[in-house]
Chains A and B, each alone.
Chain A
Amino acid sequence: MTDQLETAQHPEGLQRVVIEPLTRVEGHGKVTLLLDDDNHIKQARLHIVEFRGFEKFIQGRPYWELPVLVQRLCGICPVSHHLAAAKATDMLVGATQLTPAAEKIRRLMHYGQTLQSHALHFFHLCSPDLLFGFDDEIRHRNIVGVIEDHPEIAKQGVLLRKYGQEVIRVTAGKRVHGTGAIPGGVNKSISTDERQYLRKDIDQIIDWSQAAVELIKRIFTEQFDYHMAFATIDSNMMSMIGDDGAFDIYHGGLRAKAADGQMIFDHVDYTSYEQYLREGVKSWSYMKFPFIRSLGTWDGWYRVGPLARVNNCDFFTTPLAEQERKVFREIGQGRPVQASLAYHWARLIELLYCAEAIKDLLFDDDLLSDDLLVKGDMQACGIGVLEAPRGTLFHHYEIDADGLVEKANLIVSTTNNNQAMNESIRQVANHYLDGKQLTEPLLNQIEVAIRAYDPCLSCATHALGKMPLEVQLLNSEGDLLDRLLKRADGVIGIPEDRENNG
């Protein structure tokens, strides 16, 4: 257990180390470590520096704008927000069952988004750590290093990303700020030319996805015991599930399993999520801490995302992904796989599933149909939930008689994983950093644990070049003893003011 590291008993007498910004993580977050004079870790926390404000951004806007508007919350997974909002507005307009064409076009868009997101995360953000080791020289431990040493792998990563973006462009109408999903359906079908264009490369995409799964299996099993132990925590897991227990990231009920695999709840209608989940708050973080209501704050936190989804589902509907799921589940020896680094493995099984599912849809003639829209009786409340690349995403809106949003509540994937990420960094701090002189490779291990979850901390974009990493060392009295600066180019140096002051 690492819970005792959440809050130190006497923080006033401890050294403070700050890791800010977190590298290869989207948004403004930082980790603080409190150490005693012998470098023993007494407290470890992941803080979100700037996060909320979505709801205020949305309130007062007409409901029909929501699927387009919410894309601007996040430059990383705008399609997930687009589709979650579209599902919520389906409920608002009383569209209880979409046409086959509309649902399949939305699914195609979602699979394209998940494919490109997972490809970016693995090839760009995590493969440097996994291929070169956590203590590799920092200037080499990045995507350019991967390209230099493993040009074919890197090229496949780029082209997988590109393919996913093309699926989004075709289904959403344009590459960014698409308008494809609208309340009650979609606004365009797929033309035969567009379908043929996407069909052309899909077999290659499946081959590369299979190769990616083989690569992560090889990496994981080469140091099996280490990867099974690093940042590993026992947690509940929650995900969406199909009616028949199949893996489903677009629509279904909610399933939660305990760390030992026992069912906590199953096939829960997501519109009743407030009866099953609550959002806790802590004084030291802007981000909320969701938990399963029946288990309480202490035992009810859970993980979402690829690890939870692959653990929770009974089967995949595509053959290659199902084959890989069985291999993956074997390492859990009958229990859910709890290794945090297994997120990468699960993520790539999902990548393979998306590639296969895209191919299936590209041979489904419903995509060409012009029967795209349904409407029903207007409702005052709309809730849309799906599995975004990083995990379960909730959009909940209430509108007034004029159709303007009165209340909005969004629970994004990273918020669902908040407690889990904190638990993981405490495990790493306890096992790998405690009592040691802190170095950049050691601090990188904290970041490796966070990156396994692929957190998106800001859901917004910003100008580059303003976020150097500064590490401060304070003595027991809180006086600043030393500072180091990691610039945006990765070079570690002495802060200018310290240099000038001698």
Chain B
Amino acid sequence: MIDDRPILVFAYGNPSRGDDALGPTMYELLEEQQRQAGLLSDVALLTDFQLQIEHATDLQHRQRVVFIDASLTASPPYELDPVQPEQDISYTTHAMSPAAVLSVYQQIHRQPPPTTYMLSIRGYTFELGKPLCARARSHLQAAFEFLMKGQLLKFE
């Protein structure tokens, strides 16, 4: 039952909370590429509402990890940034930041985490029951094309 493919895409957010659905919608788009086109065979796909401590265990045996989330501050359409383990507070909710998850990984496995990137897709509204707004949909498409055409999800 262990999926140890070398690349992990972890897209997160609430599908029913406006542009917070950017992460899970990207998950669905990538899953469709796997299911229907047979692409992304080296990529394990995971989704959740938000990051939690146990997600550190999903990073094990990976060579590369890409977290995908909606962002209220990223430059549109998206930003790609490397993530380093950081002992930040992540204190505002029960959830954790990607940097904090890497830090947990490092502490419990006693080894450096895999190379990790954060793909932040610009969103605007996060109301319960609202769909993705038009601008967010456009940014999602741009980010999807970037992932499919680029090298990030290709295993060397």
Contact = CB atoms under 8 A, between A and B. Distances in A.
B103 A144 contact: yes
A53 B92 contact: no
B52 interface: yes
Contacts of B72: 463, 465-466
Interface in A455-469: 456, 460-467
Contacts of B16: 57, 69, 72
B94 A76 contact: yes
A197 interface: yes
Contacts of A144: 87-88, 100, 103-104, 107
Q: How large is the interface on B (under 10, 10 to 19, 20 to 34, 35 or more residues)?
A: 35 or more
The residue among B17, B52, B54, B108 with the most chain A CB atoms within 10 A of its own CB is: B54
B126 A142 contact: no
B73 A465 contact: yes
B139 to A, nearest CB: 13
Interface stretch (A149-157, A245-253, A304-312): A149-157
Contacts of A69: 16
Nearest to B98: A464
A490 B89 contact: yes
A459 to B, nearest CB: 9
Contacts of A78: 49
B14 interface: yes
A49 interface: no
Q: Is the interface of B mostly helix, strand, loop or mixed?
A: loop
B92 to A, nearest CB: 5
Interface in B41-81: 46-50, 52-54, 56-57, 69-73
Given A177-B15, A463-B126, A154 B89 contact: no
A463 B120 CA distance: 10
B128 interface: yes
Interface string B99-122: 010011001100000000000000
A463 B69 contact: yes
B50 A461 contact: yes
Given A158-B57, A161-B53, A463-B20, A197 B15 contact: no
Interface string A128-150: 00000000001100111001100
B108 A461 contact: no
Given A158-B56, A461-B50, A72 B71 contact: no
B20 A23 contact: no
Interface in B97-154: 97, 100, 103-104, 107-108, 123, 126, 128-129
A54 B91 CA distance: 25
Interface of B: 1, 13-17, 20, 46-50, 52-54, 56-57, 69-73, 87-97, 100, 103-104, 107-108, 123, 126, 128-129
21 contacts: A23-B91, A23-B92, A24-B93, A26-B93, A69-B16, A72-B15, A76-B94, A120-B52, A125-B94, A142-B89, A144-B107, A157-B53, A158-B57, A162-B54, A175-B48, A462-B20, A464-B93, A465-B73, A488-B91, A490-B88, A490-B91
